[in-house]
Amino acid sequence: MSGVTALIDYLAGFVTEQRLQRMQAVLAERTRYATVVVEDIYQPHNASAVLRTCDCFGVQDVHIIENRNAYRLNPGVELGTAQWLTLHRYSGEPDNTPRAIARLRDQGYRIVATSPHANQTTLERFDIDAGPFALLFGTELDGLTDTAVSLSDEHLIIPMYGFVESFNISVSVAIALHHLTHQLRSSTVDYHLSPDDRRDLLLGWLRSTIARVEQIEARFHARSYE
């Protein structure tokens, strides 16, 4: 048994069996085949709603680009969801979008802008089997920047039939993920996390759940060296 596995088994003794089973059930449906990228959201309630939506549909990673606006959460909306997700933040430069997209592309993701384009496709026609994909969503007022749109490999639209020109961003994320994760789970694609990812996330979730976990881990390590 590896040291990490032994530590997980030890920490599991400090949560209820029901809680542990719930974590394992959620991990069984978590995916990194799809990921979400948000560019410059400035409304805390929208930022928080996006995280809740990603958690609900089993998307583990959220990439947050902060060019002009810091990503702030509304605790009343987010309800602790952030502790179950892996957040990647890009800030410090006037334009952090190219760096975020380059990193995702290096990880093997198709970059998919949710924005009108000459070569756009719809949710129904999106090719799930073509490889992992990162969905880019822009600000509530302006949508994605020209940089994000130009650097994307594919462009996806959600049809609208009313007078308004765009959905609220959290609604856009929910519609896209509802459709695409259902399509993904109905496909033959192996979208599940690797065993190492499941192990590492379970350890992180246990740590975030257990009170005074630092002292408990110290006792575990002390016992291991006896």
C-alpha span between 168 and 8 (Å, rounded): 40
Give the contacts of 150 (CB within 8 A, at least 6 positions apart).
Answer: none
Under the banding of pLDDT at 50, 70 and 90, the label for residue 168 is confident
C-alpha span between 157 and 59 (Å, rounded): 20
**Tens-digit pLDDT profile for residues 15-71:** 999 999 999 999 999 999 999 999 988 777 888 889 999 999 999 999 999 888 777
C-alpha span between 41 and 139 (Å, rounded): 5
C-alpha span between 68 and 94 (Å, rounded): 7
Under the banding of pLDDT at 50, 70 and 90, the label for residue 76 is low
C-alpha span between 183 and 178 (Å, rounded): 9
Amino acid at 87: L
| Over residues 69-74, mean pLDDT | 70
Amino acid at 201: L
**Tens-digit pLDDT profile for residues 125-159:** 999 999 999 999 998 778 899 999 999 999 999 88
Question: What pLDDT shows up at residue 82?
Answer: 86
Backbone angles phi, psi at 158, to 5 degrees: -110, 110
Question: What pLDDT shows up at residue 2?
Answer: 72
Question: What pLDDT shows up at residue 3?
Answer: 86
Q: Where are the domains of the chain?
A: 1-30+193-226, 31-191
Rounded to 10 degrees, the C-alpha dihedral 9/11/16/18 comes to -50
Question: What pLDDT shows up at residue 92?
Answer: 84
Q: Say whether pLDDT at 78 is over 60.
A: no
Whole-prediction pTM: 0.91
Provide the H-helix boundaries in 79-118. 97-106
31-191 belongs to CATH 3.40.1280.10: yes
Q: DSSP letters along 120-161, please?
A: -EETTT--GGG--EEEEE-BTTTBS-HHHHHH-SEEEE----
